[in-house]
Chain A
Amino acid sequence: MTPARLYTLLGILVAGLFLAALLTGVAAVDPVTALRALMTGGEGPVGIVMREIRLPRALLAAMVGACLGLSGAALQGLLRNPMAEPGVIGISAAAGLGAVLALQTGLAAAYAFALPAAALVGALAGVGAILFLAGAGGGTLALILAGIALSALCSAATALVLNLSPNPFAAQDIVFWMMGSLADVSFTHVLLAAPLMALGAFLLWRTGPGLEALTLGEEAAASMGVNLARLRLSVVLGTAAAVGAATAVAGTVGFVGLVVPHVLRPLVNAHPSRLLPAAALGGAGLVLAADIAVRLVLPGQDLKIGVLLALVGAPVFLHLIWRMRGAA
């Protein structure tokens, strides 16, 4: 399959899932009425549901998924390891700690903006710590070790906050948030996340040629004119912006960044640069599909998207590993 054809097919898939996400929800609205209300800006309850609830939710699902898929593909390319994912450099854990602190201190209850903003501050502090620990010109191994250390530290701090939580409701809020969810998002969240996601995507997008050369190892890539320090910095900052923003609005959504690049890699002949757009589209499709599924599987129960993705995704991933073992 040519890359253009793959991107087109994935694009059609994402568009279809986006439409399906718009038409899925608790309120029973027939598709024609729903889309007409969305297009014409009808003032009735249907128009409000479509514009204020379903549209931002579908938009964010696609944006979050694209960010996770793109970051996963870029990190796997940089680290030349199919097991790499955005969590490996500790950004998700740092953003999570920021959000947990906002919930714990009651800031999140006082200001709707406080939770995502605190998560972003956490992500920013995390990337600062990574760059300080690994050094801007530090090697790949230093980067992974710094990420693991940061991740462990943030998880420990999150556990401490839970441990010292003054009341069970705060603890429950924290636990639910960490499972990841796109319920209760509004255009405020879209507007908060969009600029950072765009910045992250821009930085990651431009790493294609460098990641391609890195297939032959760091020394060969450097001898072909790739600036390794700048490439590492682009991937780390791009991932921090994209995944930090995604975590801020959706909580911890794991697994997408790991499995989407892995599944799509054979379809792009393993090219790290062609994998970037494919994984962005694939991630958007997967999160849209999962967010439709949480509303259909247990309507009214608020099944968390992170839980569903892990429940369904882990066995799929095991199956892939099984097949890979058979092939080898």
Chain B
Amino acid sequence: MSVLVLDHLSVSRGTQRPLAEVCLTVEPGECIGLIGPNGAGKSTLLRATLGLVAATGRSSLAALPAAARARTAAFLPQGREIAWPLPVIDLVALAQGGRRTAPEVGAALARMDLAALAQRPASALSGGEQARVLIARALAQNTPLLLADEPIAGLDPAHQIACMQLFADLAANGRSVIVALHDLALAARFCTRLVVLAGGRIVADGTPRAVLTAALLEEVFAIRCHLDEIEGAPVVFPLAPVPRGER
């Protein structure tokens, strides 16, 4: 059974439509990379999916009551806000109503390699460590679906790979992940499916190999790329912007 169904989901802001007629069905085991240039509507799509912004059309998730929604999907917003210097373990435990002893909390701390930092106040951590704490919080919610908005922005290469590997592992274990990101190479390597947004619409949807073509990268991202393959996964290496006259 599908984890998420979006049916002609649209968001209007004045005369603009940051999201237009998006239809998407997510199955268990899918790790979906949401890619597209800045302003393509990636964040708006995630917010509308969760019901955080007013939208027309239907999101099966937004239609749920708040408590059921929180049991179905965890959300990792783009802004990494930690307002107060709570101990790491208590921040992660927020996903379980503050119960530190919940097994999900311990598992999420261990999975994100945070056990040694559990009692430290979040304010004493580096930016990368704080990002891992927030991912652990989302994991501790233990939901079939995880929505992450640019979770790897600002992380060092090792933690970017570790984070994407985590999402791929979650999907391999039957959960579903939708992750918005800009790194096309990591998206190609770790996602089972890529959804390309441009101008608020889905312009491509398929396996990384099918989606990442020179023509699409030129049209949507306005870049020329070197396309290759390593260990069976497509590799995208951006080379240069498409000159203005040729767009």
Contact = CB atoms under 8 A, between A and B. Distances in A.
B26 to A, nearest CB: 16
A223 B73 contact: yes
Nearest to B98: A212
Contact of B94 (A224, A227, A265, A270): A224
B202 interface: no
Given A216-B94, A216-B137, A80 B75 contact: no
Given A269-B87, A270-B85, A215 B70 contact: no
A270 to B, nearest CB: 4
24 contacts: A80-B81, A209-B97, A212-B98, A213-B94, A214-B83, A215-B83, A215-B84, A215-B86, A216-B81, A217-B79, A217-B81, A219-B77, A220-B75, A220-B134, A223-B50, A224-B94, A225-B67, A225-B69, A265-B84, A269-B86, A270-B84, A270-B121, A271-B84, A273-B98
A223 B147 CA distance: 10
Contacts of A80: 81, 83-84
8 closest Cβ contacts across the A-B interface? A217-B81, A223-B75, A225-B70, A80-B83, A270-B84, A219-B77, A225-B66, A270-B85
B9 to A, nearest CB: 17
Given A216-B83, A271-B86, 7 more contacts: A80-B83, A212-B94, A212-B98, A213-B94, A214-B83, A215-B91, A224-B94
Nearest to B69: A225
Q: Give the most central of A213, A215, A217: most B CB within 10 Å.
A: A215
A149 interface: no
A224 B70 contact: yes
A212 B74 CA distance: 17
Contacts of A214: 83
Interface residues of B, number: 30
A216 B135 CA distance: 12
A270 B86 contact: yes
A217 B52 CA distance: 13
A274 to B, nearest CB: 10
Contacts of B50: 222-223
A257 interface: no
Given A209-B97, A217-B83, A223-B52, A271 B90 contact: yes
A272 interface: yes
B66 A227 contact: yes
Interface string A199-225: 000000000010011111101101111
Nearest to A227: B66
B75 A219 contact: yes
Interface of B is mostly: mixed
Contacts of A272: 84
Contacts of A223: 50, 52, 69-70, 73-75, 77
A228 B180 CA distance: 25
Interface in B54-82: 66-67, 69-70, 73-77, 79, 81-82
A229 to B, nearest CB: 11
Contacts of B94: 212-213, 215-216, 224
Contacts of B90: 269, 271
A167 B13 CA distance: 56
Nearest to A219: B77
B98 A219 contact: no
Contacts of B73: 223
B47 interface: yes
B48 to A, nearest CB: 12
A219 B84 contact: no
Given A209-B98, A270-B85, A217 B77 contact: yes
B105 to A, nearest CB: 14
B4 interface: no
Contacts of A224: 70, 94-95, 141
A269 B91 CA distance: 11
Interface in B86-135: 86-87, 90-91, 94-95, 97-98, 121, 134
B59 to A, nearest CB: 13
